[in-house]
Copies of this chain bind each other. A is one copy, B any other.
Amino acid sequence: MAKDKKVEQITDMEVDFAQWFTDVCTKAELVDYSGVKGLFILRPYGYAIWENIMNELDARFKKTGHQNVSMPLLIPESLLQKEKDHVEGFAPECAWVTHGGSEELGERLCIRPTSETLFCDHWHNVVHSWRDLPMLYNQWCSVLRWEKTTRPFLRGREFLWQEGHTLHATAEEAIAETEQQLETYADLCENVLAMPVVRGCKTDKEKFAGAERTYTIECMMHDHKALQSGTSHYFGDGFARAFDISFSDKENKLAYPHQTSWGLSTRIIGGIIMTHGDNSGLVLPPRIAPIQVVVLPIAQHKEGVIEKAQELVDRLKAEGLRVKGDFSEQSAGWKFAEYEMKGIPLRVEIGPKDIEAGHCVAVRRDNGEKITVPLAELEATVPKLLDAVQAGMYEKAKKNLSEHTYTATTVEEVKAIAEGEGGFIKTMWCGGLDCELAMKEKAGVTSRCLPLEQEKLGDVCPCCGKKADKMVVWGVAY
């Protein structure tokens, strides 16, 4: 890969993965820091990735009958307190508004950390009959959680996300919705972001504040740590009872509806970076890349080179691809490094010799492979190359996941793996909170999930030695 001042500025990922990550975030111009700790600026290139993710998800949400809404930014303290478990989970990290203009408010208002309470308050007003159900709502917004330590994408005091909230006549319908939305997230990760996932349920300890059940998809990063990438919660009728939401069913009897919520945030961009990136910078899957192909003229001062390069840009754009040509006076070396840093999936080079030979040279960002493409076959070849990059990136990530997924039967084994290369460690589990805490204390890992695809690795819990019929995946998480 091309060497250049710009590239030399980023830390080697094998030396300091955390610093490498921060370097990529800033050098690829995804984010900038603001004057408030933990509130990040999404620059155009970072936001363009989020826009593509929004478009992918929003189309899926609408196809399954969901409608977008906009709920208020602020929640009165008394409203947040209506559901006991929920307020306990979120109140400690709320940002509080106490003054409007020059006046002190009668009741302080928190900036939404999540909006269950707002949706419930609205539904209390508008849901009356079985005809009003299901309510299939979503909103795109930012939320605030006053975290102690913060990092771009992975942990912000403010982050962008979507939060889906739905209300159903029956528990079965609500559970089916919860599972459907988890599958939507898994589909996005696997088929668009080239990130293989483990689907599962959270343990009681790790589930969302107020939920009966939390489903999750867990992805493995390059350093073998886990990233919780999307969650979907089933609430039963707990919130409905707390907020007095009821409806008359078809037999005209009063009933409480069943509720779900599900969210995916800009955190997933951190996941893309840490799954696919390398020491030259970002590597973006073609299906989400704001620019899929960059066309670079070689020896552009020579007659006809820029014109030919522009022609390639136009031809590829006409195929519906997202293409950029860079004809600025920067050196070819600078441009190579710049677009490697930005993770553009495919670079197409064309110079005087190529024009003479009637071809151009395509270079894959994911593995550096160079492919000579006859100009007459440009439209037929480039989309195939992008598909190959997409597939190659998924396979590479899948290989990382398989090679660093282990089974263990003792706490010591878990500890040894966690302290070695790290990864996802499967064990049986009795289901007890004490054993979950013991695993954290003795082996330094937390439960990631109870995978939906369960395996029988034995029948005793590695912590207490008692009977165990659940399989858990453990790991170190972001």
Contacts and interface: CB of A to CB of B under 8 A. Distances in A.
Interface in A67-89: 67-76, 79
A93 interface: yes
Given A73-B111, A111-B111, A96 B95 contact: no
A15 interface: no
Interface in A110-147: 111, 118, 121-122, 125-126, 137, 141-142, 144, 146
A47 interface: yes
Contact of A125 (B32, B42, B97, B102): B32
Interface stretch (A33-41, A295-303, A342-350, A386-394): A33-41
Contact of A44 (B42, B68, B96, B125): B68
A98 interface: yes
A255 interface: no
B73 A35 contact: no
Contacts of A109: 36, 95
Contact of A71 (B34, B72, B79, B118): B34
A98 B100 contact: no
Contacts of A97: 95-98, 111
A121 B43 CA distance: 13
A72 B39 contact: yes
Given A111-B97, A121-B34, A41 B70 contact: yes
Nearest to A44: B67
A69 B44 contact: yes
A92 interface: yes
A94 interface: yes
A55 to B, nearest CB: 11
A101 interface: yes
A48 interface: yes
Contacts of A51: 68
A41 B68 contact: no
A325 to B, nearest CB: 15
A158 interface: yes
Contacts of A79: 35
Interface magnitude class on chain A: 35 or more
Interface in A18-43: 32, 34-36, 39-43
Given A34-B71, A72-B36, A44 B137 contact: yes
Interface string A352-368: 00000000000000000
Nearest to A148: B101
B96 A69 contact: no
Given A47-B68, A95-B99, A34 B118 contact: yes
A438 interface: no
Contacts of A157: 100
A118 B42 CA distance: 12
A73 B144 contact: yes
Contact of A39 (B73, B92, B144): B73
A88 to B, nearest CB: 13
21 contacts: A35-B76, A35-B121, A39-B74, A41-B71, A41-B118, A42-B69, A43-B126, A48-B67, A50-B70, A73-B111, A73-B142, A92-B102, A95-B109, A96-B99, A96-B100, A97-B97, A97-B111, A98-B98, A98-B99, A99-B108, A100-B146
Given A44-B69, A73-B73, A93-B101, 19 more contacts: A34-B72, A35-B79, A41-B70, A41-B122, A43-B69, A43-B126, A44-B68, A44-B137, A47-B68, A47-B70, A48-B68, A70-B142, A92-B102, A95-B100, A95-B101, A96-B99, A97-B97, A98-B99, A99-B108
Interface of A: 32, 34-36, 39-44, 47-48, 50-51, 67-76, 79, 92-102, 108-109, 111, 118, 121-122, 125-126, 137, 141-142, 144, 146, 157-158, 160
